[in-house]
Amino acid sequence: MKRLEQDPTVETRNMKTLRENPIAQRELRLHGKYRILFNVDLERRTVTILVVAIKRHNVMYVRGERFTAVQDEL
């Protein structure tokens, strides 16, 4: 997770700001299929990881279940 430690706000091919949504501000892609959704608090210098998912085609899965933008547990 060195990318998140060094500069979690940098825009790269694998790390980007997401469109406005109720889940997270940013996304990090790892090894093509993994997605880490996270928020950055610049004042406190913290990164909060909210979701770690596997993406298959255009669908994300968390713990084997299809992940949608409206999640009760978040």
Q: Is the residue at 69 inside a domain?
A: no
pTM of the model: 0.85
Q: Check whether 6 has a pLDDT greater than 90.
A: no
Instruction: Give me the phi and psi of 5, to 5 degrees please.
Output: -75, -45
Q: Is the residue at 70 inside a domain?
A: no
Q: Is the residue at 8 inside a domain?
A: yes
Domain count, the chain: 1
For β-strands 59-62 and 65-67, DSSP reports them as antiparallel
Q: Check whether 66 has a pLDDT greater than 60.
A: yes
Q: Is the residue at 50 inside a domain?
A: yes
Residues 60 and 67: beta-carbon distance below 8 Å: yes
Domain interval for residue 34: 2-63
Q: Which tens digits make up the pLDDT trace of 30-53?
A: 999 999 999 999 999 999 999 999
